[in-house]
Amino acid sequence: MEKISLKAPAKINLYLKILSERPDGFHELETLMQAIDLYDDITLSPADEIEFSCDDSRLPVDFTNLAVRAAIQLRDKYYFPGVKIHLSKKIPYGSGLGGGSSDAAFVIRGIVNLYQMKIPGTELLSIAASIGSDVSFFLSNGQALARGRGEIIEPVNMPLNYHVIVIMPPVFISTAQIYKLLKNSLTSTNANILLNKKLDDQRFMRLSERFTNDLEHVVLSQAPELSVLRRYLSDAGCFFCSMSGSGSAFYGLFSNSNAKLNNEEELEKQGYRIYRARPVLMPLI
């Protein structure tokens, strides 16, 4: 195979509970995630070494880039000659939408396909978990409950017939700093939201009333100007809105495909980026 092209989706955290700090420095969490059709584009081709290029100069091109790390760690365990990776970045950097983790997972998916490798799914999940907390999710079918530090994946069955508006503010949030500030306000209990059966539209909407993100109040304490994003989404008619991951993007879920923010043009003039998306499923690896 000469070349393979992949679309790596973003994700939203429908809820996120931070339960405790672990001895390894990570946090025990419980989160419900859904993939959405906002994509980074990845092209892979065979090479003698691992090479990486990107159309966004802000991203590192060395081992600190999760996509590069994914290729290196996969080759360390299951040899292949090399791969040339080109990333066209669409998912905003530092948004909490999981772009880096998705890129890493889809590099793994792509290399396995490119070289026709036969690797057990459990082994790929183990490699994914060693790269980053959300990478395992992007080897799932696109909707899952994640526990541990994000590497324990439990499939769920949720509806897909709603619409998503994402607002990305011109504000960078340090994930490490947010978790450091969280130390004194851990929830210590899981969400106890029953997801063991297929959710129809009405039950999903009712459950969404209980969804919360434990990191949101910490982010808003550092960037209080972002609190207005909730109001913008609510005024547009969403049935649920939240911050995704550790921010700084906020999103709203809408039943109406024609939903529009009242002040959308003004927000864009101020440097905010608005994305419209739908929930999607991904092929299992």
What one-letter code names the amino acid at 54? C
Look-up of token digits 């395992």: 136
Q: Where are the domains of the chain?
A: 4-155, 163-277
- pLDDT, mean over the chain: 92
62 as an active site residue: the answer is no
Confidence of residue 75 (pLDDT cuts 50, 70, 90): very high
Beta strands 50-54 and 83-88, pairing class: parallel
**Catalytic hit among 3, 11, 37, 260:** 11
Classify residue 158 by its DSSP letter. Answer: -
pLDDT tens column, 81-102: 999 999 999 999 889 999 999 9
Look up residue 115 and give its two tokens.
Answer: 């070289």
pLDDT of residue 76: 96
Domains 4-155 and 163-277 share a fold: no
Strand partners, 29: 18
76 as an active site residue: the answer is no
**Catalytic hit among 40, 103, 134, 214:** 134
Q: Looking at domain 4-155, which of 2.60.40.10, 3.30.230.10, 3.40.50.2000, 2.60.120.10 is its CATH number?
A: 3.30.230.10
pLDDT of residue 180: 83
Q: How far apart are CA 240 and CA 165, in angstroms?
A: 11
This model's pTM is above 0.85: yes
Question: Which has more pLDDT, 25 or 230?
Answer: 230
Sort 134 into a burial class: Cβ within 10 Å, 0-12 / 13-18 / 19+.
buried
What's the average model confidence in pLDDT over 198-215? 91
Q: How far apart are CA 38 and CA 95, in angstroms?
A: 12
Phi, psi of 78 (to 5 degrees): -135, 100
Fold of 163-277: Alpha-Beta Plaits (3.30.70)
Q: How far apart are CA 275 and CA 99, in angstroms?
A: 14
**170, 47 Cβ separation under 8 angstroms:** no
pLDDT tens column, 240-253: 999 999 999 999 99
